């Protein structure tokens, strides 16, 4: 029987309305830069954000950590000379505020899925690759939707120092979930390269959730289970449903 199930965050536990994070980051920076008297053209600001985001994506694929702090340091060089410490603080504040204000919603069926697993005695965790929205903001988003307390363990790449599919981030999570053996655990996520390949490599049951993002990445393995309804995950893993 499965003793523990871990979940990816983005497009698995919660999803973002396309472009919302970018929109709210830029809005936060325009307001804070204006209030601080820092003249930065809106187009320059947009281009600096997109440069940082592209650098993050490339780093994520290569397995090299790239945090909001790294993005801020990169963006500063794109602006007119100013107070670097103030710019850094405003940029980091914008990454936080953008995440908290963006339109980010729970995925359909996630609460039912998590509740069923917990009622069956299965321990539940998150394994999340952190991009430009820091892990404290992710925690706040979960708390806002009353999902935070449904998880027994949360592991974030900006804390552990590696991204999926690195074995270490999966091992860290299962240690926190009662030292569960890989063979007694499952991981649910939307990405083949990170979620599926990482889970399969350590011997976990891999579940690919396809309702929000259906990943057809060539040259990567597919999951043991592919599902488009989170509420069906417990049954697919052989976990008994709650009695009515």
Residue 243 domain-assigned (yes or no) = no
Q: How far is Cα 135 from Cα 157, in angstroms, rounded to an integer? A: 9
Quote the pLDDT of residue 11. Answer: 98
Give the domain CATH number at 163: 3.40.50.1000
Quote the pLDDT of residue 18. Answer: 97
Residues 118 and 191 placed together within one structural domain of the fold: yes
DSSP 98-144: HHHHS-EEEPTTHHHHHHHHHHTT-EEEEEE---SS-HHHHHHHHHH
Quote the pLDDT of residue 244. Answer: 39
Q: Are 225 and 236 in contact (CB under 8 A)?
A: yes
Residues 76 and 128 placed together within one structural domain of the fold: no
Q: How far is Cα 184 from Cα 109, in angstroms, rounded to an integer? A: 23
Residue 73 domain-assigned (yes or no) = yes
Q: Are 113 and 235 in contact (CB under 8 A)?
A: no
Residues of the chain with pLDDT under 50: 244
Quote the pLDDT of residue 79. Answer: 84
Tokens 């999966």 belong to 170
Residues 209 and 145 placed together within one structural domain of the fold: yes
Residues 194 and 135 placed together within one structural domain of the fold: yes
Nearest CA to 107 among 170, 17, 21? 17
Residues 178 and 77 placed together within one structural domain of the fold: no
Q: Which of 51, 75, 101 is the last residue of a domain?
A: 101
Residue 242 domain-assigned (yes or no) = no
Q: Which of 72, 101, 130 is the last residue of a domain?
A: 101
Quote the pLDDT of residue 1. Answer: 86
Residues 116 and 11 placed together within one structural domain of the fold: yes
Residues 125 and 95 placed together within one structural domain of the fold: no
Residues 140 and 86 placed together within one structural domain of the fold: no
Residue 244 domain-assigned (yes or no) = no
Beta strands 225-227 and 104-106 are unpaired
How many domains does the chain fold into?
2
Residue 8 domain-assigned (yes or no) = yes
Q: Which of 101, 116, 143 is the last residue of a domain?
A: 101
> Containing domain of residue 171, as a range?
4-16+104-236
Residues 167 and 224 placed together within one structural domain of the fold: yes
Residue 241 domain-assigned (yes or no) = no
Residues 123 and 69 placed together within one structural domain of the fold: no
Q: Is the pTM of this model over 0.85?
A: yes
CB atoms closer than 10 angstroms to residue 184: 17
15, 22, 104 from 18: Cα distances, Å: 9, 9, 9
Residue 111 domain-assigned (yes or no) = yes
- In tens, the pLDDT along 26-45 reads 999 999 999 998 888 899 99
Residues 111 and 221 placed together within one structural domain of the fold: yes
Residue 48 domain-assigned (yes or no) = yes
Residues 118 and 186 placed together within one structural domain of the fold: yes
Quote the pLDDT of residue 15. Answer: 98
């Amino acid at each position: 029987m499965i003793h523990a199930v871990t979940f990816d965050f983005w497009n698995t536990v919660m999803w973002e309305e396309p472009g919302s994070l970018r929109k709210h980051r830029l809005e936060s920076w325009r307001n804070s830069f204006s209030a601080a008297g820092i003249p930065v053209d809106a187009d320059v600001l947009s281009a600096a954000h997109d440069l940082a985001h592209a650098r993050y994506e490339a780093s994520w694929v290569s397995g090299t950590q790239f945090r909001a702090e790294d993005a801020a340091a990169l963006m500063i060089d794109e602006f007119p000379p100013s107070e670097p410490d103030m710019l850094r603080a405003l940029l980091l504040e914008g990454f936080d505020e953008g995440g908290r204000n963006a339109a980010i919603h729970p995925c359909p069926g996630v609460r039912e899925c998590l509740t069923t697993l917990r009622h069956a005695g299965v321990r539940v965790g998150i394994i999340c690759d952190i991009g430009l929205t820091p892990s404290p903001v992710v925690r706040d988003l979960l708390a806002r939707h009353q999902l935070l307390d449904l998880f027994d363990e949360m592991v974030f790449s900006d804390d552990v120092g590696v991204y999926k599919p690195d074995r270490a981030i999966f091992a860290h999570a299962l240690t926190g979930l009662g030292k569960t053996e890989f063979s007694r655990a499952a991981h649910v996520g939307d990405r083949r390269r990170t979620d599926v390949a990482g889970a399969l490599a350590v011997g976990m049951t891999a579940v690919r959730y396809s309702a929000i993002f259906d990943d057809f990445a060539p040259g990567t393995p597919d999951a043991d289970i592919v599902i488009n309804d989170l509420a069906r995950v417990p049954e697919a893993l052989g976990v008994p449903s709650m009695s009515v």
